[in-house]
Amino acid sequence: MKPANNPQSHPLAGRRALKMNGLGNEIVVLDLRGAPFRVGAAEARAIGAAPGLHFDQLMVLSDPARPDAQAAMKIFNIDGSVSAACGNGTRCVGWALVHAGAPDAMLLESDAGLLSVKRMADTQFQVDMGAPHLRWNEIPLAGAGGDTAHVLLTPPAPGAPAMFTAVSMGNPHAVFFVDDVQAMDLGALGPQIERHPLFPERVNASFAQMLARDHIALRVWERGAGATRACGTAACASAVAAARTGLGARKTKVTLPGGDLAIHWRESDDHVLMTGPVEFEHESRLDAALFA
């Protein structure tokens, strides 16, 4: 449906938008179930420019195709680009739907597949992120293939380790293991790695420090969003990368600038379970002037 020329009649005018966060990862949830309008990049950027609605990810809900799912999700980064997965945002969606009357356990459709979400406590939610994708063409990486647990960054990014581990959690991740995560210049390295020619769809760049076999300190430059206080899919990817390279266990705590996530890469089915908190900040109504 094409937006009307009169902004007052724009189908998003007056819609409720929930500002939330998952460990400081800024999230806006927009529930459009029952509405024929679909958000595009221009609308996403306009919403992110609204006072009080800046986001790292915008979670747009629409009617699901499956009768047993609560909603379908479309995920936008602040630059208007689309992401197939966002773990912190999915937990926020779970909270929003539970508070709108959904059951404590639900299914959500996403571009990364069907996700299972469960409320563990009032503000603690667990998301089954599915199995990681580990093949070159699934992540994807440019090139003919090889061992994605140990990939040489060619050409190198000065200041970054030469090797990284590649994982897709529905979106591509490059995990670099370092001795001191605080010493990494995220603002300089993040943009270089995000748009490195090895990553045809760009990449989320993570720097991980092993504090123990079951504890990772992590800083993340998110594709399309920049440096964020937390990234759920990066936490999952770093846990998978640590286990694949023998550095870590399948159950681990990941500490990000915004707080801690519990990650379990389950052996029985290879699914990655992510558990962590969400916080509701405020509710806004979308101003028609945003879409003028």
pLDDT tens-place string over residues 126-169: 999 999 999 999 999 998 788 999 999 999 999 999 999 999 99
Cβ atoms of 175 and 237 closer than 8 Å: yes
- Within a domain: 282: yes
pLDDT at 146: 86
Phi, psi for residue 244 in degrees, rounded to 5 = -65, -35
Q: What would the DSSP string read from start to end of 188-251? A: HHHHHHHT-TT-TT--EEEEEEEEETTEEEEEEEETTTEEES--HHHHHHHHHHHHHTTSS-SE
- Its pTM stands at 0.91
**Is 92 tagged catalytic?**
no
- Does one domain contain both 162 and 57? no
pLDDT at 8: 57
- Does one domain contain both 192 and 85? no
- Does one domain contain both 56 and 13? yes
Residue 67 has pLDDT above 50, yes or no: yes
Cβ partners under 8 Å of residue 228, min gap 6 = 24, 25, 26, 56, 220, 222
Cβ atoms of 207 and 218 closer than 8 Å: yes
**Is 86 tagged catalytic?**
yes
What count of other Cβ atoms lies within 10 Å of the Cβ of residue 77? 22
For residues 13-40, average pLDDT: 95
- Within a domain: 247: yes
Cβ partners under 8 Å of residue 158, min gap 6 = none
- Within a domain: 160: yes
Residue whose C-alpha is closest to residue 25's, from 74, 76, 92: 92
- Within a domain: 128: no
Query: How many domains does the chain divide into?
Result: 2
Selecting among 231, 237, 242, 256, the annotated active-site residue is: 231
- Does one domain contain both 32 and 65? yes
- Does one domain contain both 202 and 185? yes
Cβ partners under 8 Å of residue 103, min gap 6 = none
Separation of alpha carbons 221 and 231, rounded Å: 9
Residue 1 has pLDDT above 70, yes or no: no
Q: Which residue blocks in the chain are alpha helix, DSSP H?
A: 41-48, 87-99, 186-194, 232-244
Give the domain range for residue 195: 151-270
Cβ atoms of 291 and 46 closer than 8 Å: yes
DSSP conformational letter for 133 = B
- CATH code of residue 259: 3.10.310.10
- Within a domain: 206: yes
- Does one domain contain both 110 and 14? yes
- Within a domain: 102: yes
Cβ atoms of 258 and 222 closer than 8 Å: no
- Does one domain contain both 222 and 239? yes
- Within a domain: 242: yes
- Within a domain: 132: no
Selecting among 86, 235, 240, 256, the annotated active-site residue is: 86
- Does one domain contain both 161 and 258? yes
Separation of alpha carbons 226 and 233, rounded Å: 14
